[in-house]
Amino acid sequence: MQIEVAKKAGHCFGVKTAIQKAFETARAAQAPVYTLGPIIHNPQVVKVLEKEGVKAVKNLSDVSEGVIIIRSHGVPPRVIDEARERGLTVVDATCPFVKRAQTLAFKLVEEGYDLVLLGDAAHPEVEGILGTVGNVATVISAAEQTLVLPRRRRYGVIAQTTQSLDNLQQVASALLGRTHELKVFNTICNATTALQIETRLLAERVDLMLVVGGRNSANTTRLVEISRAAGVPTQHIEIADEIEPAWLERVKRIGVTAGTSTPDWIIQEIVQQLQQIGK
C-alpha cells in the first residue's frame, strides 16, 4: 500500500503564527489568558493549549481580566474596542490575509459599491468582515444566489479566504449581468488555493483519500468536497483512531491531505496508523 501525503497539507502561515502567539502569550502572561472562540478549528490543538493555561471563551462577557487573543479568523473592530474598554489586553492574531479582506471590503463600501461577500454566513471570518463594514454586505455562497439580487449601478465583490477560485469566478460572471460596474478583489488566500489544487491532483491518482481536520473547519470541508468531486472515495477524519481498516480493503494508493488547522503531529500519527494497518 502506497501512502502519499500532500506537500502543502496542514498548518498555513496564518494558523502557525496564531498558535505561536498563543503559546508565547501563555508563557509570558502574569494574568489569565483566553482566546475568543477556539484558536483554530482543531479540537486537539485547543486541548494542548488548554494545558498551557489558554482557555477558549465564547464571549467577551465571560472574561473580567487578563489577556484576550483574537484568533486568525479575525473579529469585527467593535469587539476589539469593547475588549479594551473592559480593561483586557488584546493580542491580535488575525491572519494578514483576513485583515486584507476586511480592509478591501471597507474600501469597496466607502467607494459606494454594493458589497457582495462570497462565503459562509455562519463562519466567524465572514462575521468579522461583515462587522467591519457595518453589516451592509450581502453574503452569498454560490452564483445562483445572485439571481435574486437587485440590479445595481455598482457591485463590489470579495470572498472569504477559504473559497475556491472557481466559485468566485462564477459569482463574478453572474453579477456582470446585474450591474454596469463590477469590482472584484481576489481575497482567496494563496495557501488555501495551493492546497486545494494539490488535493485535487492527488485525488486523481489515488484509490482513497483521507482528509484530516476539524469537522467544523471550513477549509477542511472544502478539501473533502474537492476530493469527492474528483470521483475518489473520501473520508473526513480528525484523528488516527478514526481510520477503519475496512476502508483500506483493495486499496493500493492512499492520498492524505489536511486542512490548514491540522498540526504536523496529527498527520504523522495518521501515516503511522496507515502503515500499521497495511502490515
Q: Which residues bind ligand F3S (CB under 6 A)?
A: 12-15, 72, 95, 97-98, 161, 189, 191-192, 219, 260
Q: Give me the helices (H) in the chain, please.
A: 13-28, 43-51, 77-85, 96-110, 124-132, 165-176, 190-203, 218-229, 264-278
In the complex with ligand F3S, the residue whose CB is nearer, 21 or 243, is 21
The verdict on whether 125 is a catalytic residue reads yes
In the complex, least distance from residue 21 CB atom to ligand F3S, rounded to whole angstroms: 12
State phi, psi for 117 to the nearest 5 degrees. -110, 115
Alpha-carbon gap, residue 256 to 273, rounded angstroms: 12
Closest residue to ligand F3S: CB criterion: 14
In the complex, least distance from residue 65 CB atom to ligand F3S, rounded to whole angstroms: 28
In the complex with ligand F3S, the residue whose CB is nearer, 191 or 270, is 191
State phi, psi for 233 to the nearest 5 degrees. -55, 135
In the complex, least distance from residue 141 CB atom to ligand F3S, rounded to whole angstroms: 18
Helices 96-110 and 13-28 cross at an angle (nearest 10°) of 110
In the complex with ligand F3S, the residue whose CB is nearer, 14 or 156, is 14
In the complex, least distance from residue 73 CB atom to ligand F3S, rounded to whole angstroms: 8
Nearest CA to 176 among 193, 199, 200, 152? 152
Query: What nine digits make up the cell of 75?
Result: 473579529
In the complex with ligand F3S, the residue whose CB is nearer, 192 or 257, is 192
Contact (Cβ atoms closer than 8 angstroms) between residue 22 and residue 49: yes
Which entry of 4, 65, 111, 125 is annotated as an active-site residue?
125
Catalytic residue annotation: 125
